[in-house]
Structure 1
Amino acid sequence: MNILMFTNTYRPIVGGVSESVQRLKNRLQEEGHRVLVVTPKMAGRPRHETDVVRVTAVQHFNGSDFSLPVPIPGQLYEAIEEFDPDIIHSHHPFLLGDTAARAAETYGLPLVFTHHTLYEHYTHYVPGDSPRMQRFAVALATEYTHLCDAVIAPSESVRDLLLRRGANKAITVVPSGVDTRRYAQGSGSTTVRAWCGIPPQAYVVGHVGRLAREKNLPFLAEAATRWLVDVPQGHFLVVGDGDAREVMRDIAERAGVSERVHFTGKLQGQTLIDAYHAMDTFAFASHSETQGMVLVEAMAAGLPVVAVEASGVREVIRHGENGLLLRDDDVAAMAAALAELGDGSRRAAMCKAATATAAAFDESCCATRCLEVYRQAIAMGGPFSHADDGTWERVRGRLGAEWHMLLYRGRVLRSLLQDEPNSDKKAVDDALRDTSPK
């Protein structure tokens, strides 16, 4: 099968979506499928990479790590036609997601969309952040699903949320996979602990992820530092980087425990795996996850998890079995849970259960489920046969793509105005009716 993927984030960006796309691509290729990834040009990208098309992009959009793609249609469509895809998989509902939808319509190909992100938690990266912008993000992602033949949700929580919002009902739950065998093998005590100056016998609570505003890290830092005050032999290991790092450091300094809080910066490959193995317990507080892939990575490394209940978290953690799940952001409760897992015998039982949980999220299982979604979407068929249609069919496809994108944006606008008390919804309805085909 020839699989064409569109993603706004890819290496060298370190993050959930980027890692998910890379892992899926690699696994599918290992199973004999061809995969081509369309993604923005980014500073620090690999010099030589295969099966990747980079499109022009504005770097570090609004001060973030992300790039704003500006695809050049002629060059991109030449690459698509040469690749001759059987299906298109979009990993975002905007920017290159729009390009994916246009390409699918142009060539009469099935379009699959993975809803990786709760986009309303990320609107602070866009100028003019406001409740209206959050509603826009929700409407954009929800309406995008109706352009697609199939939708993938990384967890049951996200599937249920999308259905409540009125998304396309053709949703299949397929978590992002993890190479569990690889994450099971690490030597944290002799590498990362020694590097950070953490004693071999210390009890280490760890966290891995982007240190970003949407990850609820001030709360996590408050809870961890309260635990450190009560547990003199404890250490807190933080892997990742971002704007929240200074906030977390300030919290630790105010509590007088900064010498036992260790920031490693971004880690990748075996060094990242070794960092997991340098921990005894994993702590997590984000409310913005669709799956929380780092939870599976931590469990594959044999770690129990203490986390706040949220979407993408409750599907992984079984309270009292492979970790502890808190109902809300309670600093004292989180600190107490971290202390509870300091009991070696209690933690040992949870470590075994955590490893068993991770096995269900192995990337081979997840790739197989994703392939089944592809096959079902292809079996449904489309308006045209394939990318080798004649010139007129391609022109008609391009026109149809632009028409459907216009309707898509109209539905997003209508959805927004329905929430506005002074909006003129009738005017929007009339405008859409006036632009309908005669």
Structure 2
Amino acid sequence: MSNRGETVNIAIFTNSYLPFSGGVPTSIKTFKNAAEKLGHTVIVFAPSYPGHKSNGKGVIRIPSVKAMTYAGFYLPVPFSTEITKAFRRYDFDIVHVQHPYLLGETGMKMARKYNIPLVFTYHTMYEQYLHYLPVAESIANPVMRKFTTSFCNHSDLVIAPSEHVKEFLSKRNIETSIKVVPTGIELRPYRKKFRKGSIKRKHRIPQASKLLIYAGRITPEKNLKFLVKCMAKIAKKDPDVMCMLIGKSAEKDHYEYDLKDIVKREGMEDRIMFIGDVPHDKLIDYYKEADLFLFASKTETQGLVILEAMAAGTPVIAVDAPAISEFINGKNGFTVPQNMLKFTAKALSMLRDKKRMKQMSSNALKTAKKHSAENMAKKLIAEFRKVKPTQDEYENMRSLKDLSEIDWSDVIKKIMR
């Protein structure tokens, strides 16, 4: 690898990228921007999206097909001459894959072909997302577990976004070195001028209201039925509270409908609003307008939106979960057991204590600055410099070849039906 101080050429392979909204695309874009400002070269290989023509510098689009089980998601078809052309053009020092399948496997093949170190970031607890595959979870679970473990073991370095993920992987017989590097936060967009009250005016809610928000995908794994019920209880106790759920639903006709039905049964249709998807540059205004950020997911590998809220100076209340508790310390917010009474009581007590809220806002900003995009990019590139490529040939990796249960071309065909 390059010596300390030299620039690094990085090839990133991902199955999701902008304009798709999610933690992985945000993580990649944040790192790419920060690394390029430090003088490094980052080329992203990502799926194409219909109607999206602005690739931006250093993004190579791969043909894709629509995933029928997840709205707005497109699966890359991992065969493209553009990949080979790029590897001939750029002298890559690192191949960094974000998923263990589709373009992740392509990235592994290219790393082995050109004898380049392969780094894999374990962004997702894959077993928590098997309901999106067109096969029974009882079948998919052991196969996915075996596959992801094998992929980690045939990488040269595994990046975990949190200590929790590192501990989780360490229990899976993974022999590859695992380093913890969280996704950073790009702080510059948060410095733009913001007119307090503008979001409330836009949505025609009282200026004196206390605004509680959630931002993220509207999906079952985010534990939103619990969160919506908590929002309803908080709003009933405090007549000045207004709540917003911001994000796109992957199952709009099903899960979001269920959430809205809960809101209707609670009689809170005028107090709990579903905003829909908001571009990230606009989402910052919602973070800044909010008094509290609420989060209930227990499947996160980091919980990037928590740091995003903190970058706006917004304290957080979250359901206690291993990765989440690494970023919330009682000074910038609180983690609470999944108990409706305790979650509701904590939110109400914070809203009543303006002095504590002000101090927590200041502490939240400090936490975000500690995890700035520049700091995290430097940390990740430092790990890149240490890693060396394995001598194994991809074609001889028997444990990966033995996983013939996962035929991704077949999965694509099933999803297209």
Q: TM-score, normalised by structure 2?
A: 0.90
Which position in structure 2 is the counterpart of 1:133?
A: 140
Which position in structure 1 is the counterpart of 2:305?
A: 294
Contact 1:205 1:338 in 2 (8 A): no
Query: Helix, strand or coil: the match of 1:179?
Result: coil
**What is the CA-CA distance between 1:99 and the residue it aligns to?**
0.5
Which position in structure 2 is the counterpart of 1:408?
A: 400
Unaligned runs of 5+ in 1: 384-396, 414-438
Contact 1:64 1:125 in 2 (8 A): no
**What is the CA-CA distance between 1:188 and the residue it aligns to?**
6.0
Letter in 1 for 2:394: A
Contact 1:304 1:322 in 2 (8 A): yes
Please state if 1:42 is matched with 2:34.
no
The 1:213–1:146 alpha-carbon spacing in structure 2 relative to 1, beyond 3 Å, is: same
Which position in structure 2 is the counterpart of 1:246?
A: 257
Please state if 1:333 is matched with 2:324.
no
Contact 2:231 2:272 in 1 (8 A): no
Contact 1:153 1:172 in 2 (8 A): yes
Distance 2:37 2:362 in 1: 29
Distance 2:24 2:69 in 1: 19
Query: Helix, strand or coil: the match of 2:293?
Result: strand
Between 221-230 and 242-251, report the one with greater CA deviation. 242-251
Which position in structure 2 is the counterpart of 1:262?
A: 273
Letter in 1 for 2:137: S
User: Residue deviations 1:136-163, cap 9 Å, x none?
Assistant: 2232222211111111100001011100
Distance 1:373 1:352 in 2: 31
User: Residue deviations 1:314-372, cap 9 Å, x none?
Assistant: 110113x2112112x21121111111111212212211211111111110000001101
The 1:402–1:45 alpha-carbon spacing in structure 2 relative to 1, beyond 3 Å, is: farther
Query: Helix, strand or coil: the match of 1:168?
Result: coil
Q: Pick from 294, 306, 309: which aligns with 2:320? A: 309
The 1:147–1:296 alpha-carbon spacing in structure 2 relative to 1, beyond 3 Å, is: same
Query: Helix, strand or coil: the match of 1:166?
Result: coil
Distance 1:381 1:138 in 2: 24
**What is the CA-CA distance between 1:409 and the residue it aligns to?**
4.1
Distance 2:221 2:292 in 1: 22
Query: Helix, strand or coil: the match of 1:72?
Result: coil
Q: How does 1:27-426 map to 2 (within 5 A)?
A: 27-183=34-190, 185=192, 187=194, 189-242=196-249, 243=252, 244-319=255-330, 321-327=331-337, 329-343=338-352, 344-377=354-387, 380-383=388-391, 400-404=393-397, 406-410=398-402
**What is the CA-CA distance between 1:169 and the residue it aligns to?**
4.0
Larger radius of gyration: 1
Q: Please provide the CA RMSD for this pair.
A: 1.8
Contact 1:304 1:354 in 2 (8 A): yes
Contact 1:221 1:251 in 2 (8 A): yes
Query: Helix, strand or coil: the match of 1:43?
Result: coil
Query: Helix, strand or coil: the match of 1:325?
Result: strand
User: Residue deviations 1:159-209, cap 9 Å, x none?
Assistant: 111001122341111000111343354536332111111212111111110
Between 69-78 and 353-362, report the one with greater CA deviation. 69-78
Contact 2:234 2:347 in 1 (8 A): yes
Contact 1:24 1:177 in 2 (8 A): yes
User: Residue deviations 1:50-91, cap 9 Å, x none?
Assistant: 211111211234243222211225442122211221110001
**What is the CA-CA distance between 1:116 and the residue it aligns to?**
0.6
Distance 2:100 2:164 in 1: 19
The 1:134–1:108 alpha-carbon spacing in structure 2 relative to 1, beyond 3 Å, is: same
Query: Helix, strand or coil: the match of 1:38?
Result: strand
Query: Helix, strand or coil: the match of 1:259?
Result: coil
Contact 1:291 1:311 in 2 (8 A): no
Contact 2:55 2:61 in 1 (8 A): no
**What is the CA-CA distance between 1:301 and the residue it aligns to?**
0.6
Distance 2:377 2:404 in 1: 32
The 1:63–1:173 alpha-carbon spacing in structure 2 relative to 1, beyond 3 Å, is: closer
